[in-house]
Structure 1
Amino acid sequence: MLLSTDIPPQVIKRESLAQYLAKVSIERRKLAKLEVDFIPQIRDKWDKILVDRTTDRERAEKAIDACYLYAGLNRSRILWTENPLTALTFLMNRPDLVDVSSRILHQICDTCDREINGQIQPAFIDVVKAYANPRALVLDEAQNMAFDLLGDFLNQVSISELQKSYPLLDTLSLPSALQDYRIAYLSYFDYFHQIGIEIPQIQLLVDLAQSCGCCWAFENITIVTPKASAVEFNGRGELIALVYDGINILK
């Protein structure tokens, strides 16, 4: 395909492709040393977010309302459930619900990607993705990185494990949760916002990550769970426990 995904459609309408590419090649920059040195601080911040078990319902509900507003949607009724298993059971019985999670995520993340890709060279974006992510594995100093697939344990991994424990739950038919983020992405979005790139809307997903567990967005209703009181991984980095009210719901 001729057009790069970095190029916002509205820019193509205003300028020729050649003019825009020339402009990008000049303006996209490397990270300054002070900015590179800031990466470990973001990693530490997100390490604390992953460990924190605090649920803040007021903050979560404000972020949900703001996400709907940002995507041009009406506010929804917010329903809190005890844990992801309760939420999934509820959703299995409501096939009539219209998913809007993808619409909200694309609205936020596409805007952030465009701003970052238009200003920073791709190699530096990849470095931030790996090194700002507390659960990423950096294989060597030649930028050989394995991006984290477990950082979204509040959502995708926990749902996958629940499906193993409760095979009758058809979790594969369910829509993604609103915070279908991987920490590899959310931490690097946050990093670029902190060094001055104008992507304030990423704070909506940051607030969700810090204040609740899973969150499914539909027209007129949002299903939310608190954070687990404990999360445990084995030596291979595999999720083995999601504890709610003293019970590991994976068992």
Structure 2
Amino acid sequence: MNMPGADSGPAPRLGIAENDPVRRRIERLMPGLADAIAPRARRFASRSARPRREIVHEGDMPSGLWVLRSGWAAHVRHFADGRRQIQHLLLPGDPLPLDRGGPYPATIMALNAATVIDLDGLWLGEPAGLDEMVRRHGRESIRYLLGAIARLGRQSAIERFAHLLLELRDRLLAIGLASTTRFDLPLTQEMLADTLGLTSVHVNRTLQAMRQQGLIELAGRKVTLLRAEELAGLADYTSPMVPAQDIG
């Protein structure tokens, strides 16, 4: 696995606690698998990546089953003139590969300080469970990518923001990192622009408009959805997630 942005020195082996986002994500993708691969005594190989550095490069073949344990990452496309598109955001618990039998279809970049762990290993009695987990993750990713196509192709700037914020709220809620109205958004305006197909100036204006309309509240990295139902109507958004416990 290509890790040009990895920190130097040996990385510690990390476990998965009961409420770890990785465990929650595994359980949603493949109920029962988390208990098989995440006993408290188990420690997994880990690697770290600095912000804005590649974790894997497009065309690399998967080696092991690396999962994002902390931080945010993204599938990205870089253009010859320096432009960048963030095609899909990866959150804690998300597997990196979409297909263990084929190359990575896009470069994956750490958006902030990130850690990945390898769930694979000879100790696992039923590797088919991990393969099925990756397949289900791939199907979910396709759904999110189709949503992104609709956002970019047909929605206004404010509709794009509403749709993205609701999608992130649901995905973070499912892994215990959000409430129904509040979550951390560790993305710069430049990253949001690359995700939503806007300029940084347009991002700033749209966020200010949403605040003035009483739709959202921003405090540092924390976003509060003040009128989530109205945002859903504005973005024509229907949650694909099974309701998870609200952590407040």
User: What TM-score do you get using the length of structure 1 for normalisation?
Assistant: 0.28
Q: Between Structure 1 and Structure 2, which shows a larger proportion of helix residues?
A: 1
User: What TM-score do you get using the length of structure 2 for normalisation?
Assistant: 0.28
Structure whose CA Rg is larger: 1
